[in-house]
Amino acid sequence: MRTDASSLLRLGRPPARLMVAIIIASTVVFAVPDLGIVTSVWPVIVGLVLFAVGALIMAHPHPDPFPLHLSRLVLALSVALTVLIDVNLPDSGWIGYAGWNFGAANWLFFFLTFRGRVALGWLGFVMMAAITIVWAIWVGRGYLDGVDLVARHAGTLLMGTLFGIMFRRAAARITALQREQIVQAASEVAALTEIREREVQGAQLNLEAREVLERIAAGDYRRADDQRAFELLEASLRDTLRGAGLTSPQLTAAAREARLRGASVILLDDRNETLDATQAAVVQSAALAELATLNTGSITVRLLPPGRELVATIVRNDGQRRRIDIPATADPSTPVITSPSTVRSDPAGPVDRRRTAP
């Protein structure tokens, strides 16, 4: 979740649009009553249009700081507004609400500073002040009249600047708090997952080993078939600890059947993260195919650490050594790369490492 002005004030939503419409409408209300003392009416109409366009631009939803090109456009609109209305004001006497342009332009500067463009906001105010003072001197009002027309708006802009700074600091604290909450939630989920995994492992251990442990405790473990059952149980428990990512019901059953036929089966998980569904399906399919035909010798199914080109390897040795490499990009339609090599009864004999495709 973003925590800038655009998101927290919900710019672009109906309430924000209503607020902008109220500001534009109130400016029109201030400009209309004193149309009789201005030189011409059309500059007032054009000025109101310029202000409305600038206000609508500043209400555009966008992460802060506000885009520089749009900020410069708003600055240009405020300067054009100032020039257009200043030269349309009377040369002497009370200006009244005919000077509505100063407050309107200051609104635009306020929005600029609030949305992270502080320098452009104050630059606009300085330019408005300079134009107004030059105009006041030019028409004979004197520079003090020019200063008086714009000085009262400096406080509003200063308030907007300070409010914008505090708002951004508060938003940064909110963002930091949200990140802390996310980290805490992730930690709690990980802890809960670990607890549930321990509960599952405990339940599995109770299911598989309770009867055997009770028989061992009773001293009833001398028969050869019982010892074989104990060996199979130990191997199954080792699979759970060393090959957690490979202990699906189908693969566990296939490994048990292969062990019952006299083969040695080792399942290793060096990945420590869950495979995606496609990769898991390819690995399991390849492992099941090898286990189904293994009667003697040994087989090692290993999930490799993440970040490698291969996701898993299957090494089978039942008189002839064969290695199956499963790429990380494998899918059910991708052939598995197999590396066969002939192994003599002498382990020190030469090994043929030529790769062929099945």
Pairing of strands 298-303, 310-317: antiparallel
Question: What is the per-residue pLDDT for 352?
Answer: 35
Are residue 141 and residue 56 in the same domain, yes or no?
Answer: yes
Q: What pLDDT digit, counting tens, does each position of 322-353 carry?
A: 899 988 887 666 656 666 554 433 333 323 33
The answer to whether the predicted template modeling score (pTM) of the entire model surpasses 0.75 is no
Mean confidence (pLDDT) of the chain: 81
pLDDT at 19: 84
Helix axes 154-217, 100-114, angle to 10 degrees: 20
Cα(287)–Cα(269) distance, integer angstroms: 14
The pLDDT assigned to 340 comes to 59
Min mean pLDDT across 36-45, 234-243, 263-272 is at: 234-243
Average pLDDT over residues 67-79: 93
In angstroms, rounded to a whole number, what is the distance separating the alpha carbons of residues 317 and 217?
37
State residue 95's pLDDT score: 86
Count CA atoms within 13 Å of residue 83 on its CB side: 7
Q: Are residues 34 and 105 in the same domain?
A: yes
The end-to-end CA distance of the chain, in Å, is 51
Tell me the average pLDDT across 161-171. 80
Question: pLDDT band at residue 234, thresholds of 50, 70 and 90?
Answer: confident
For position 69, what pLDDT does the model report? Answer: 93
Q: 128-138 pLDDT, tens per residue?
A: 999 999 999 99
Q: How far apart are CA 27 and CA 225, in angstroms?
A: 96
Answer whether residue 202 is part of any domain: no
The answer on 170 and 37 residing in a single domain is yes
Tens of pLDDT, residue by residue over 276-295, are 888 888 898 999 999 999 98
Residue 49: which domain range? 5-179
Q: Does a structural domain hold residue 66?
A: yes
Q: What is the DSSP string of 131-194?
A: HHHHHHHHTTS-HHHHHHHHHTTHHHHHHHHHHHHHHHHHHHHHHHHHHHHHHHHHHHHHHHHH
Question: Comparing 186-200, 201-215, 263-277, 339-353, which segment has the lowest mean pLDDT?
Answer: 339-353
Question: Are 268 and 342 contained in the same domain?
Answer: yes
Q: Are residues 56 and 134 in the same domain?
A: yes
Q: Say yes or no to pLDDT of 142 above 80.
A: yes
Residues 58 and 129 in one domain: yes
Give, as one character, the DSSP assignment of residue 354.
-
Structural domain total, the chain? 2
My answer on whether 356 and 258 are in the same domain is yes
CA torsion sign for 168, 174, 178, 184 is positive
Does residue 139 have a pLDDT over 60? yes
